[in-house]
Amino acid sequence: MAIFYRKIEQGKALIISGLGKPKVKFSGAIVNPFLDKVEVMDISVKTIEIDRRGKNGLICKDMIRADIIVSFYIRVNATEEDVKQVASMVGCERASDINTLETLFSAKFSEALKTAGIRMDFVELFDNRDQFKEEIIKVIGSDLNGYSLEDAAIDYIEQTPLDALDEDNMQDSEGIRKITEITSKKHILTNEFEKDEEKEITRKNVETKETIYELERQQAEAEAKQLREIATAQAREESLTAQVQAEERLKAETAEKKTEEELGIVEENKRRAIELAAKGREREIGVESERVEQARELQATERERLVTIEQWRKDKDVEVEKKAIQEVIRERVALERSVAEEQEKIKDVEKIADAERTRQADVIIAEKDAQELLVRETVEAEAKEIAAKFIANETVILAEADKKQAEHEAEAAMVRAAAKIKVEAADGMAKVEVEKAEAEAIELKGRAEAIALREIKTAEADGTLANGTAEAKAKTAMYNSDAEGTTKIGTADAHAMAAKFEADANGINQKADAMKNFDGVGREHEEFKLELNLEERIKIAEIDKDRQVAEYQSEIMGEAMRSADIDIVGGDGVFLDNFFKSITLAKSVDAFVDESAVAKGFIDGENKIGEQLKNLIGAEGLKAADIKDLTVSALLAKLALEGKKESTRKVATSLQEHVSAMGLQDLMAMYLAK
């Protein structure tokens, strides 16, 4: 029996035909070779490929033709009935032949593709392949006369090229229209996206470059600032070193000069003491004729002393003026040193300033000549007047000659006082020389010191003028300020007083020549000398007060300038002229307010215009920076037109009339409101 048993491979079915109905076996069976006929049918899965491309492409719902390749997987159902049905209809051998299968099912499958494809648009078909496959399987069904559709796979799907379509075909022409419409829109969108991309890239590039440029600029600024700070620190240290050296040298020279002057004073006092002792001995042992001669010599000594006192007083007043000028110049030199590093940048402005200073120097020289002529004429007239008075008093002097003996003791005291005055004057002169030497030492530093030296020489020339009108007019022409007029008056008065002292000295000299042959001094001369001594002490006290105030102001100014952040605009001449103009203006305003009783009344009195102005500024919320460049009239006009409150505008309008009546309209508002 074992030899009659026949096994069958997997995926195949054994069909036995013999006595009775055919039998189907899927694993194996006993076969009688004499009675049974045995056939083998392949029931494994077979693939049928449907290819529709070009003109045969699949028409979709939107009339767009699609090229498509679909593989169908079919097999004979592994059931006895289905195997018998296929065997009876197709035959066992043909049932497994691929050509037979294509012949049997190609048309059916193609029709299923058309049916499923016409239900979906091309894009929908392309995006939803699973749904399309399910539609195909659904249309074909699962019962294929013993065969079954196992699965279907879409291997390829694309739009049919336009050149493969028939323009005369209604469906193809509609598809061409839709394809053209869709592709045109897509091209437009694509172009927009490309342009947007290009624009965005360009914008990013521009922003990147701008950022890079800004960072490079900041880096360059930081490097330049660092270099500038290093250069400034080096220049500052060099300047301080030179200043210390100059100060030490000046101290040594000053001490040497002071020692020489003290020795000279001691020798002079000793010589005078010897002469006085000799004259005393001659007076005691001399006869009446010797008394007359002695009186004449004492009168000559008196004349010399008076002339010397007046000359010292005149020189002292001149030196006081020089010292004030030197103080201003020293401040200017300090400021010049702080801006020396900026001078290279402003050469053009410097040339203009030099030309302006040259022009002003010419004006000053011309006015100086005129003033010297005027002073000489004034001095001659006063000298003649004094000489006439002395001649008129000659008779009185002759009558009082016998009083000379009593005056001799007073003369000794006066000589001692004169010596003391000379010592004090020598100290003052030494101080002036020290300050002058300090200024000259500072002036040796670079371009700033050269300019300062030129200014010092000009200031010294101005200080020796008999009358300060030329300097006042020059400053008035430069600044065009009413306040400068006040400075002009004060300077003119000071130099006029110096000229008066010089004229008085000349008159006294003539008086001494007239009195040298007589013994005794009149009451009027004594009173005159006492008045001069009193005036001298008052002036010395005032000078000392002004010196202390100037020292305190210089210390305050130094502290303020040390930490100040100053923006320098203009060259050395322009900036410093403006700076000293503001200082002079401030001093002029202070002098005007101090000397004017009416102005004091408006500032500190019952009217208190300064207090009212301060209240207006506070009510409007103005800061110091808002009014620092405004005059009183400009500030009141601004408040009268732009005041926030009606009361403010009314008060400002009322104050305008008072300010104009008092001549305060051109003063800086910050001085009245401080």
Whether residues 348 and 440 share a domain: the answer is yes
**C-alpha dist (Å) from residue 185 to 190, 192, 591:** 8, 10, 89
**In the prediction, which pLDDT does 653 show?**
83
pLDDT tens digits for range 234-283 = 998 988 898 888 888 888 888 888 888 888 888 888 888 888 888 877 77
- Quick check: 157 and 125 in contact, CB under 8 A? yes
pLDDT level of residue 28 (50, 70, 90 thresholds): low
**In the prediction, which pLDDT does 207 show?**
92
- Quick check: 332 and 339 in contact, CB under 8 A? no
pLDDT tens digits for range 123-151 = 888 888 888 888 888 888 766 778 888 88
Which residue among 103, 132, 164 closes a domain? 164
Whether residues 364 and 512 share a domain: the answer is yes
**In the prediction, which pLDDT does 407 show?**
61
178 in any annotated domain: no
**In the prediction, which pLDDT does 216 show?**
92
Which contacts qualify for 400-407: CB closer than 8 Å, 24 or more apart? 400/520, 400/521, 400/522, 401/295, 401/518, 401/519, 401/520, 402/519, 402/520, 403/519, 403/520, 403/521, 404/295, 404/298, 404/299, 404/518, 404/519, 404/520, 404/521, 405/291, 405/519, 407/520, 407/521
Domain count, the chain: 3
419 in any annotated domain: yes
Tell me which residue of 381, 54, 21, 430 sits closest to 259, measured CA to CA.
430
Domain limits for position 124: 2-164
Whether residues 136 and 37 share a domain: the answer is yes
pLDDT tens digits for range 169-189 = 887 778 788 888 888 888 888
pLDDT tens digits for range 573-619 = 555 455 555 555 555 545 545 545 444 544 454 456 777 877 878 78
pLDDT tens digits for range 428-479 = 444 444 444 454 545 454 454 545 445 554 445 455 444 444 444 444 444 4
Which contacts qualify for 9-16: CB closer than 8 Å, 24 or more apart? 11/42, 11/43, 11/44, 12/40, 12/41, 12/42, 12/43, 12/44, 13/40, 13/41, 13/43, 13/76, 13/78, 13/83, 14/38, 14/39, 14/40, 15/39, 15/40, 15/41, 15/83, 15/84, 15/87, 15/92
CATH number at residue 74: 3.30.479.30
Mean of pLDDT values over 549-577: 55
Whether residues 362 and 490 share a domain: the answer is yes
**C-alpha dist (Å) from residue 631 to 199, 331, 352, 593:** 57, 26, 28, 16
**In the prediction, which pLDDT does 113 show?**
87
**In the prediction, which pLDDT does 39 show?**
75
pLDDT tens digits for range 82-110 = 788 887 788 877 877 788 888 888 888 88
pLDDT level of residue 227 (50, 70, 90 thresholds): very high
User: Alpha-carbon distance 553 to 546, whole Å?
Assistant: 10
- pLDDT greater than 60 at residue 569: no
176 in any annotated domain: no
Whether residues 551 and 620 share a domain: the answer is no
**In the prediction, which pLDDT does 23 show?**
74
- pLDDT greater than 60 at residue 663: yes
| Burial tier of 39 (Cβ tally within 10 Å: 0-12, 13-18, 19+) | middle
Mean of pLDDT values over 310-329: 77
Whether residues 39 and 106 share a domain: the answer is yes
Whether residues 612 and 550 share a domain: the answer is no
Phi and psi based region of residue 241 (left: phi greater than 0; alpha: psi -120 to 50; beta: remaining): alpha
- Mean pLDDT: which of 401-415, 508-522, 633-647 is highest? 633-647
**In the prediction, which pLDDT does 468 show?**
43
Whether residues 508 and 603 share a domain: the answer is no
335 in any annotated domain: yes
Whether residues 20 and 135 share a domain: the answer is yes
- Higher pLDDT pick, 642 / 406: 642
Q: Are strands 58-59 and 147-159 parallel, antiparallel or unpaired?
A: unpaired
Return phi, psi of residue 73, to 5°: -110, 115
Tell me which residue of 575, 15, 589, 168 sits closest to 343, measured CA to CA.
575
- Quick check: 46 and 109 in contact, CB under 8 A? no
634 in any annotated domain: yes
Q: Are strands 65-76 and 37-42 parallel, antiparallel or unpaired?
A: unpaired
**In the prediction, which pLDDT does 346 show?**
75
Q: Are strands 23-25 and 37-42 parallel, antiparallel or unpaired?
A: unpaired
**In the prediction, which pLDDT does 88 show?**
77
Which residue among 164, 193, 218 closes a domain? 164
- Higher pLDDT pick, 110 / 402: 110
Phi and psi based region of residue 48 (left: phi greater than 0; alpha: psi -120 to 50; beta: remaining): beta
**Residue owning tokens 């003649």:** 384
Instruction: Report the chain's mean pLDDT, rounded to a whole number.
Output: 71
- Higher pLDDT pick, 63 / 461: 63
204 in any annotated domain: no
Whether residues 438 and 541 share a domain: the answer is yes
Query: What are the beta bridge partners of residue 14?
Result: 25, 40
71 in any annotated domain: yes
Which residue among 164, 183, 211 closes a domain? 164
- pLDDT greater than 50 at residue 426: no
| Burial tier of 458 (Cβ tally within 10 Å: 0-12, 13-18, 19+) | middle
**In the prediction, which pLDDT does 62 show?**
83
Query: What are the beta bridge partners of residue 13?
Result: 41
pTM: 0.30
**C-alpha dist (Å) from residue 208 to 197, 217, 220, 562, 662:** 16, 14, 18, 43, 65
**In the prediction, which pLDDT does 380 show?**
66
**In the prediction, which pLDDT does 432 show?**
42
**In the prediction, which pLDDT does 477 show?**
47
Q: Is 5 helix (H, G, I), strand (E, B) or coil?
A: strand
pLDDT level of residue 30 (50, 70, 90 thresholds): low
- pLDDT greater than 70 at residue 391: no
Whether residues 488 and 606 share a domain: the answer is no
**At how many degrees (to 10) do helices 572-595 and 482-515 cross?**
70
Phi and psi based region of residue 145 (left: phi greater than 0; alpha: psi -120 to 50; beta: remaining): left
- pLDDT greater than 70 at residue 560: no
Whether residues 354 and 425 share a domain: the answer is yes
79 in any annotated domain: yes
Residues 6+ away with beta carbon under 8 Å from 329: 439, 452, 455, 456, 459
pLDDT tens digits for range 505-542 = 565 555 555 444 444 445 555 566 666 666 667 767 77
